Amino acid sequence: MLTVGKKFPEFKKKAVVSLEPGKEFDTITLKDIVNGKWTVFFWWPLDFTFVCPTEITSFNNYYDEFVNRDTNLFGASIDSEFVHLAWRNSDPNLKNLRFPMIADTSKSLSKKLGILEKENKIAYRATYIIDPEGVIQHVSVNGLNVGRNVSETLRLLDAFQNGGLVPCDWVPGEATL
């Protein structure tokens, strides 16, 4: 698995960026996510499942918190951009997403990252925090059946952006070492 201290790999993928007719799709590359800002890039296994929309909705609910930290937010799965669009159009909780849903239909990016589950060939629930230079500063991977805690992702982002030595159980506003 690609891990901390490594550069996030190059990629070029289709993504759903809007529900406006004629403007639904765009191409996203590494340059779009590494643009002088921090980035949180999270993966879910499959569209039209049970745990995945709870996570996607939660990341969307915290979208302004990421923006306030000058941080890009991207989500991805191995489903196509057309499946992403159909899911967004059919699930009321996904209609107003404010971040791109990237399609890794070839599984090339999930393979480069080393997050493909071997038996079903779907991506694990992986979360990457990437610094403005494109270096992975944090990666966490959950099994397929357990969702993430977006508040913890924000706490980790705050800790990395702090730039100091951050002790165990630190919360924003507390002193660092």
The pLDDT, as a whole number, for residue 92 is 95
Q: What is the CATH number of the domain that holds 145?
A: 3.40.30.10
Is residue 168, in this structure, part of any structural domain at all? no
- Number of domains the chain is built from: 1
* CA–CA dist 151, 157 (Å, integer): 10
Note down the domain range covering 80: 12-162
Catalytic residue list contains 52 = yes
Question: What DSSP string describes the chain?
Answer: ---TTSBPPP-EEEEE---STT-SEEEEEHHHH-SSSEEEEEE-S-SS-SSHHHHHHHHHHTHHHHHHTTEEEEEEESS-HHHHHHHHHH-GGGTT--S-EEE-TT-HHHHHHT-B-TTT--B-EEEEEE-TTSBEEEEEEE-TT----HHHHHHHHHHHHH-S---TT--TTS---
Residue 73, both tokens:
């937010």
pTM of the model: 0.96
Report the 10 Å Cβ neighbour count for 143: 9
Q: Which of 42, 85, 35, 82 is nearest to 62 (CA)?
A: 42
The pLDDT, as a whole number, for residue 158 is 97
- Kindly report, residue by residue over 110-150, the tens digit of the pLDDT: 999 999 999 889 999 999 999 999 999 999 999 999 999 99
Q: What are the residues facing 71 on neighbouring strands? A: 38
Is residue 129, in this structure, part of any structural domain at all? yes
The answer to whether 115 and 122 are in contact (CB under 8 A) is no
One pLDDT digit (tens) per residue for the chain, 177 residues: 999 999 999 999 999 999 999 999 999 999 999 999 999 999 999 999 999 999 999 999 999 999 999 999 999 999 999 999 999 999 999 999 999 999 999 999 999 999 999 988 999 999 999 999 999 999 999 999 999 999 999 999 999 999 889 999 999 999 999
- Kindly report, residue by residue over 48-59, the tens digit of the pLDDT: 999 999 999 999
* CA–CA dist 16, 162 (Å, integer): 32
Is residue 146, in this structure, part of any structural domain at all? yes
Is residue 5, in this structure, part of any structural domain at all? no
Report the interhelical angle of 150-162 vs 52-61 (nearest 10°). 50
Is residue 128, in this structure, part of any structural domain at all? yes
Is residue 173, in this structure, part of any structural domain at all? no
Is residue 74, in this structure, part of any structural domain at all? yes
The answer for residues whose C-beta is within 8 angstroms of residue 22's C-beta and 6 or more apart is none
Is residue 158, in this structure, part of any structural domain at all? yes
Of the candidates 52, 122, 126, 139, the residue annotated as catalytic is: 52
The pLDDT, as a whole number, for residue 120 is 87
